[in-house]
Chain A
């Protein structure tokens, strides 16, 4: 399965993941503390410059990741056109786009393994509560492995339904799908135990 990390190598890829995450936290807090449209416009311009400095293809990739925001942009824009508070609306939109684009920049330039290492460091104190870093890695690996497995089975259940009925399957397939997921969980647990368990 694909991650959202960009295949286009940038200098940002080489920065340590922890530093990028810390910078993102500071940036996000600052963006939500700012209210002046001028300051927020500057912040947005800086984020845009960071994308553009890494080339056209990379910037376009960043733009595609912002697509889910457009419905919200539309709602806010219409709202403020209606109420007439245009400066407020512009500030809100620039803050939202800058915050999401900055966070996406970290995602685009940080490998899954590097983020995983940060996550393991951050959750290390939980070891005393019984969550060892190894258990967490195993859980993450299991999800990544089983998403395609479950998708494949969903497709087969859907085909089996189509072979029997001209109607669309709808929600009813979720009962066998969930049941099969529970069965898988039992079988994988047995397999893990047979190999010495997760102790």
Chain B
């Protein structure tokens, strides 16, 4: 019980700092913010249930007015803005990513990347794009076109989520709770 609570709380904090650390430079100098990588890692490392709860806790703190979203955003305003769909999709994205890692017998790195793609991109866009369509007054295809701007960065993050999850299992077997 205590262990579940502290893992959920500390991973919520991890999502927050991944949005606060200004940026991560990829080889080639492309800057991306890592917040959605944090969402993916919650699922692939903690597993479906704990991962989704960590993301919900993170969102609760954003609702409470802490500036924890990337770029120092926070408060209730982000839930009435264009990103609302992505925020709603965050917990389900983490749940799906964790579910894929838990339920498949693929090698961990591949399972985590697949989970991050299905959850952190597929499920997330399923919510994010209609949200953007609603707030920006666009049709779904138009909103999908705008949302594709994030796709290259998110694909890179999904691969990184796989590499990091595998790296954790190599450095400390048993540390990846979704497979423990």
A interface residues with partner B (beta carbon < 8 Å): 1-5, 21, 24, 28, 32, 65-66, 68-69, 72, 75-76, 79, 88-89, 91-92, 95-96, 99-104, 106-108, 110, 112, 115-116, 119, 135, 138-140, 142-144, 146-147, 149-151, 154, 168, 170-171, 174-175, 177-179, 181-182, 184-186, 188-190, 192-193, 197-198
Contact = CB atoms under 8 A, between A and B. Distances in A.
Interface residues of B, number: 62
Interface of B: 1-3, 5-14, 16-18, 20-21, 24-27, 34, 37, 41, 45, 57-58, 60-61, 63-68, 71, 73-82, 134-138, 142, 146, 160, 163-164, 167-168, 171-172, 175
A65 B160 contact: no
A171 B28 CA distance: 13
A91 B138 CA distance: 12
A50 B135 CA distance: 22
Contacts of A79: 138, 142
A174 B175 CA distance: 14
A107 B76 contact: yes
Given A2-B67, A143-B12, A170-B24, A96 B136 contact: yes
A157 to B, nearest CB: 11
Contacts of A184: 6, 10
Identify which of B13, B76, B138 gathers the most chain A CB atoms within 10 Å of its CB: B76
Which one of B18, B25, B45, B82 has the greatest number of beta carbons of chain A within 10 Å?
B82
B131 to A, nearest CB: 12
B5 A139 contact: yes
The majority secondary structure among interface residues of chain A is helix
A146 B9 contact: yes
Contact of B76 (A24, A69, A168, A175): A24
A190 B5 CA distance: 11
26 contacts: A3-B64, A4-B67, A68-B73, A68-B81, A72-B81, A75-B136, A75-B146, A91-B137, A95-B135, A96-B136, A100-B77, A139-B8, A143-B9, A143-B16, A143-B61, A146-B10, A150-B10, A171-B160, A174-B41, A178-B14, A179-B172, A182-B7, A182-B45, A188-B6, A197-B1, A197-B2
